[in-house]
């Protein structure tokens, strides 16, 4: 931005009036030209400037530098702000194309529908409840008989209580066999005449809970053909039998006919859609593998 001052005209003294006439509002180029006009004499070997002219020159130079700095600063801000607005974030992509777009609509908070109003159809029906697809066996906690709440239970635990609880937690069963052992003790000769050699009472609870989940899974997959008559929907009853592999896959799907081949096909298709079901827990594996059956009815089996 430095500009070489041009030599003054011969014999011309620097004029204060002309020096003062230089305005800060002028452009730097114009200021430079004014400087040359105002009597700054510059040669390659000698520089002679009067004190007053030197003071004016210093002020003008500062003013020019200030202007230049101002312009540079504004330009830099514009560049930085533009980059910040226009450039995508460096840490994550602006739109992740791998993510599915999920449309949501917030439900307005309100009162329950007035019972005297006519019913309305749901605008978006809720999805049917589905059990977890992962074949991970889970153990339902055994039901405990109804007992009256112990008033001591609500008392604040003492330090010794906390210590006892810590010991109890440490001794908590790690797996299902520990749980069974904990519940029933070591195996004894006692049992029921129609029981299983490896059986225990707890096996029954776990097994029943598991097959209830399998039944719910098949029921969720059930679609009844609308060609069935009202009478058929009340009357028909098929028996669906399946074998359940350790990974929950259903095989050997057979249907004892309801009398309607259409409904039989519906039942068979539902079992196919339901597979794989949750993997059977240890106590249920043998029965699941050898095969179990379910009644199937278009409306109710009762």
Partner 1 sequence: MVRCSLIVMLLSVNAFAVVAHAQGPIVGDVEGGELRAFPLAVPDTRLAATSQDKKGDAELLSRVMRGDLEMSGAFQLLDKKSFIDTDGLDSADVRFGDWRNVSAQGLVKTRLTLQGSDYLVEVFVYEVASGKQVLKKTLTLPSADVRSAGHAAADEVFRAFTGEPGVFRTRIAVVKKVQGEKHVFTMDIDGDNVRQVTRGGGLNLLPSWSPDGRAIVFTSYRYDNPDLFEIGSTGGESKPLSRRPGLNTGGRVSPDGGRIAVTLSQDGNSELYLLDRGGSVLKRLTNQWGIDTSPSWSPDGSQVAFVSSRSGHPDLFMLDVGSGATKRLTFKGTYNQTPAFSPRGTLIAFTARDEHNVFDIFTLNVSSGEIKRVTQGQGNNEEPSFSPNGRLLVFTTTRNKAKQLVISTVDGSKQTVLPSMGEHTSPSWGPFAR
Least CB distance to partner 1 at residue 236 (A): 11
Q: How many amino acids of this chain bind partner 1 (CB under 8 A)?
A: 51
Instruction: State which residue, 40 or 214, has the beta carbon closest to partner 1.
Output: 214
Tokens 């029933």 identify what position? 184
What HEC string does 244-286 produce?
ECCCCCEEEEEEECCCCHHHHHHHHHHHHHHCCCCCCCHHHHH
Token pair for residue 230?
């009202």
Residues 138, 131: Cα–Cα separation, whole Å: 12
Cβ neighbours for 37, distance < 8 A, ≥ 6 positions apart:
8, 18
Instruction: State which residue, 42 or 239, has the beta carbon closest to partner 1.
Output: 239
Nearest to 267 by CA among 302, 236, 289, 244: 236
Nearest to 233 by CA among 291, 170, 296, 175: 296
The contact mask relative to partner 1 for 225-254 (x = CB under 8 A, - = no) is xxxxxx-x------xxx-x----------x
Segment contacting partner 1 by CB under 8 A, of 16-24, 83-91, 165-173, 294-302: 294-302
Is 224 among the residues that bind partner 1 (CB under 8 A)?
yes
> What residues between 100 and 119 interact with partner 1 by CB under 8 A?
115-119
Nearest to 134 by CA among 243, 217, 221, 240: 217
The contact mask relative to partner 1 for 119-138 (x = CB under 8 A, - = no) is xxx------x----------
Least CB distance to partner 1 at residue 201 (A): 17
How far apart, in Å, are the Cα atoms of 161 and each of 149, 150, 244, 294?
18, 16, 45, 48
How far apart, in Å, are the Cα atoms of 293 and each of 22, 30, 68, 254?
105, 101, 90, 9
Segment contacting partner 1 by CB under 8 A, of 70-78, 138-146, 165-173, 257-265: 257-265
Token pair for residue 186?
């070591």
Least CB distance to partner 1 at residue 193 (A): 17
Instruction: State which residue, 45 or 192, has the beta carbon closest to partner 1.
Output: 192
Least CB distance to partner 1 at residue 129 (A): 13
Helix (H, G, I), strand (E, B) or coil at 7: coil
Instruction: State which residue, 184 or 241, has the beta carbon closest to partner 1.
Output: 241
Is 39 among the residues that bind partner 1 (CB under 8 A)?
no
Least CB distance to partner 1 at residue 221 (A): 8
> What residues between 263 and 292 interact with partner 1 by CB under 8 A?
265-268, 270, 287, 290-292
Instruction: State which residue, 60 or 258, has the beta carbon closest to partner 1.
Output: 258
User: What are the residues binding partner 1 (CB under 8 A)?
Assistant: 115-121, 128, 208, 211-212, 214-215, 218-219, 222-230, 232, 239-241, 243, 254, 256, 261-262, 265-268, 270, 287, 290-301
């Amino acid at each position: 931005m430095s500009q070489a001052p041009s030599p003054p005209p011969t014999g011309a003294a620097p004029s204060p009036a002309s020096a003062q006439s230089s305005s800060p509002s002028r452009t730097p180029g114009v200021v430079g030209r004014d400087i040359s006009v105002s009597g700054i004499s510059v040669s390659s070997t000698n520089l002679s400037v009067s004190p007053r002219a030197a003071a004016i020159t210093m002020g003008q130079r500062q003013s020019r530098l200030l202007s230049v700095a101002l312009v540079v600063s504004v330009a830099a801000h514009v560049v930085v702000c533009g980059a910040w607005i226009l450039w995508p974030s460096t840490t994550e992509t602006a739109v992740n194309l791998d993510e599915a777009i999920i449309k949501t609509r917030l439900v307005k908070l309100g009162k329950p529908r007035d019972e005297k109003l006519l019913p309305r159809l749901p605008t978006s029906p809720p999805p049917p409840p589905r059990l977890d697809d992962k074949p991970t066996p889970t153990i339902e906690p055994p039901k405990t008989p109804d007992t009256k709440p112990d008033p001591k239970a609500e008392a604040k635990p003492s330090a010794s209580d906390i210590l006892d609880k810590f010991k109890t937690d440490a001794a908590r069963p790690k797996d299902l066999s520990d749980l069974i052992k904990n519940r029933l003790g070591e195996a004894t000769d006692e049992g029921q005449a129609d029981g299983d050699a490896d059986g225990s009472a707890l096996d029954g609870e776990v097994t029943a809970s598991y097959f209830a989940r399998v039944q719910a899974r098949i029921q969720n997959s059930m679609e009844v053909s609308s060609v069935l008559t009202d009478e058929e929907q009340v009357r028909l009853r098929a028996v669906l039998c399946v074998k359940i592999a350790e990974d929950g896959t259903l095989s050997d799907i057979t249907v004892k006919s309801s009398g309607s081949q259409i409904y039989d096909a519906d039942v068979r298709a539902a079992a196919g859609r339901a597979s794989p079901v949750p993997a059977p827990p240890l106590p249920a594996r043998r029965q699941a593998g050898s095969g179990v059956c379910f009644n199937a009815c278009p409306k109710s089996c009762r």
